Amino acid sequence: MRSVSKARVWLGLPVLLAGVGLVLSFPSLAPNPYLLSVGIVVLNYAVLSTAWNFMGGFTGYISLGHGALAGLGAYGTALLITKAGMPSFAALFAATAIVALLAIPLGFAALRVRGASFVIVSIALVLILLLVFQSWASLTGGSSGLVVPRPFPQLLRPEHHRVFYYLFAGLLALALLCWWLIDRSRFGLGLKAVREDEDKAESLGTPTFAYKLVIFTVSAAFTALGGGLYALWFGDLDPVFQFSILSGAYMVLMALLGGVRNLFGPVLGALIVGIGLEYFKVEYGNTPLHLVASGLLLAVVVMFMPDGVIPSVSNVFGRFFQPTRASIREVSAEQLREEARR
């Protein structure tokens, strides 16, 4: 088993370095500003799905309401700029702090239920906020939308895209680092215990509710950061888009596709789904074909790769490198001690 793990590490490191190099060089390789904007959209999806995975991946709680948290981050950033006159990035961090604080009472209410009940509560959050932000036109602009001033007005559109591409890449790196640190911490171990058997974890002394509330707040903060940064980049907000159940559903789909228990699972899912969505929008316009494709993709993942692409590929890879044994009697005690020393 150790040899398999070492092989995966040594093979995974070059892939990781190649991926980082490709991400950093993409603005120079993109032939036009449109493809660069597609790269930004994919990175935004990767940030949001990774933020969702703090909650979904560690605890197993499936939330379809994270789109509402992204919308709160976007509108919070925009309103602090347009109504309070705050600088763009100060407004971004202030809005993130506000959403994180709001996540505490929301978590107190929502995290007392589990399973399908939690999913329904998360959907209700999206619908309530959609109605509020559509109806409160004097503040939010309602269905007419809200225009967000550009933080770099002196930049032309290509340079504007390039700056925000690297900002999204930096935010994604920060989210991945935090997920990786939690995954290897005692706190992360407690969250995984919640995921596997919450009642048993609580009976063994794990403060399950406190753990869930903390990780929900962390997840909300990163989701709000992604939504707020999108508002600064795109510059035009619409409640129907910002508070859409589809946004939360896409986050779930991306994380499940890549693998919720893997650090880079949501990133891979965002790459596949993000490119697919942009392709369908270009080829077929506003038709619902992208929804049909997303539904079929989700069905394929659930039926054939329930753990996601990365774990499925890793399992296939492990079959080639892990030695097979017909019986435990074929392994001597000396061989076992030798394997343990490796």
- Per DSSP, the three-state class of 70 is helix
Identify the DSSP state of 212.
H
d(CA 319, CA 4): 9
d(CA 158, CA 156): 6
**β-bridge mates for residue 146, sequence order:** 237
**Contact assessment for residue 64 and residue 126, using Cβ atoms and an 8 Å cutoff:** yes
Predicted local distance difference test score (pLDDT) of residue 331: 46
Burial class (CB in 10 A: 0-12, 13-18, 19+), 7: middle
**Contact assessment for residue 39 and residue 165, using Cβ atoms and an 8 Å cutoff:** yes
What length is written for the chain? Answer: 342
Angle, in degrees to the nearest 10, between helices 66-82 and 208-234: 50
Q: Is the pTM of this model over 0.85?
A: yes
**Residue type, position 338, single letter:** E
**Contact assessment for residue 223 and residue 229, using Cβ atoms and an 8 Å cutoff:** no
CATH fold of 32-322: ABC transporter involved in vitamin B12 uptake, BtuC (1.10.3470)
Beta strand pairing call for 146-147 and 236-237: antiparallel
d(CA 58, CA 209): 13
Predicted local distance difference test score (pLDDT) of residue 9: 55
Predicted local distance difference test score (pLDDT) of residue 211: 96
Predicted local distance difference test score (pLDDT) of residue 336: 46
Predicted local distance difference test score (pLDDT) of residue 325: 45
d(CA 206, CA 204): 6
Q: Of 31, 120, 29, 53, which is closest to residue 267 (Cα–Cα)? A: 53
Instruction: Report in angstroms the alpha-carbon separations of 196 from 60, 204, 259, 271, 324.
Output: 8, 13, 16, 28, 28
Token duo for residue 45: 């999806």
Domain boundaries, the chain: 32-322
d(CA 265, CA 271): 10
pLDDT in tens, the chain (342 residues): 444 455 555 556 787 888 889 999 999 998 888 999 999 999 999 999 999 999 999 999 999 999 999 999 999 999 999 999 999 999 999 999 999 999 999 999 999 998 888 999 999 999 999 999 999 999 999 988 899 999 999 999 899 999 999 999 999 999 999 999 999 999 999 999 999 999 999 998 999 999 999 999 999 999 999 999 999 999 999 999 899 888 998 999 999 898 898 999 999 999 999 998 888 888 877 677 777 877 787 777 777 776 777 776 666 555 555 554 444 444 455 554 555 555
